[in-house]
Amino acid sequence: MRGSGGGAAPATPDVYTATLRELSNRDGGGLPAHPIRLARHLLMLVTGGHGTHTVDFVPHTCRAGTLIWARPGQVIQYGRQPGLDAILVQWDPHLLAGLGVPAAPSPTAAGRWQLAGEDEDAIINEVSQLVVDRQRHPAGALTNDLLSHQLAVLILRVSTLPDGRPGVGEPESGLYTRLVREIEQNFAHTRRVEEYAGRLCCSVRTLTRACLAATGRSAKQVIDDRVALEARRLLACTELPVAEVGQRLGFTEATNFGRFFQREVGRSPGAFRADLLSPPPAAPPPPPRPFAPPARNHQADHADIVGVAPAARSTPAPGTTRPLGATAPLPAVTRPGTAAPSPASGPRAPLPRQRGAPADTPA
């Protein structure tokens, strides 16, 4: 029993904190690559890096300041990108009962927010204090009460945040919210809209209108979406045969379940499971640099061709360097019987014409 009065305190606190880096370093195995089905609430505050965390097979792009709330029963796949880190806060579903914290409106809703400004400062402060107190104080009733009340304040702050993206928060529809709760309790037994309408004391048309206003999908589609989600969860996180997965969801024939899954997900159950079990593709290697041929030293090439000894090749004077890619000047080409110009003599003067030679005849 949790509480400061008279009851036996649990051996460990009801609130658990860690970081992605700590999980990655635990046992030297790194973060698990496979999906994990949560038994507790999970609040994840990204503190550094960029990457993608997946909740119920929906990828969420993350960077510093991203906040994700995943509920019990949902499937999470941690991002494993280098440098991606986050603070993780987990707690049991019963922990906040009686503390005035509103319950999550739907177990299939995953909250995602990109914090900024005062909201970011307040939530970072709450999370940081929760982590510090979790580490400082020994397990006991008083510590559990302290952590649970701090967590309640944190969740109340999160509950006041606007939706981080369209479709994350639950719509303002009482009938739709009641339908979601009914589906959660009965989706494995029936997918008939008429039965849900009868439970909610309304017509099929009224129920469909509420679903269209809330999600843009019909009541039948909302029900089938939940069944397909549970099928993916079971295929991803259990080793149950495909036929047994179908039986748990109310399909008496495996072929009927296969057709339903193919229609809703776009792949067969076996292909979906195989894709999850296959290792993620390795990061592609960096593109090769464009090939740039080295600058040719024509004088050296000429010396190699004619067999000039290496010592006779032009080299920089001791203590000097030649710019990268620069080549020694080619030797001047002279006519037979003429002297090569001195390098320091500047431009070569025109040769005098031989006596008696025409003016347009080259000397």
* Average pLDDT of every residue of the chain: 77
pLDDT class of 161 with cuts at 50, 70, 90? confident
> If you count them, how many residues does the chain have?
363
Write out the CATH class of domain 15-159: mainly beta
**Alpha helices per DSSP H over the chain:** 20-25, 117-136, 141-159, 174-186, 193-199, 204-215, 219-237, 242-248, 254-265, 269-277, 298-306
Residue 345 phi/psi, 5-degree rounding, is: -85, 0
pLDDT class of 139 with cuts at 50, 70, 90? confident
Each domain of the chain, given as residue ranges in start order, spans: 15-159, 176-277
Tell me the range of 150-159, 307-316, 322-331 where mean pLDDT is highest. Answer: 150-159
pLDDT at residue 164 is higher than 70: no
More confident residue, 342 or 271: 271
User: Options 3.30.70.980, 1.10.10.60, 3.20.20.70, 1.10.630.10; which CATH number does 176-277 get?
Assistant: 1.10.10.60
The model carries a pTM of: 0.69
pLDDT class of 159 with cuts at 50, 70, 90? confident
pLDDT class of 110 with cuts at 50, 70, 90? low
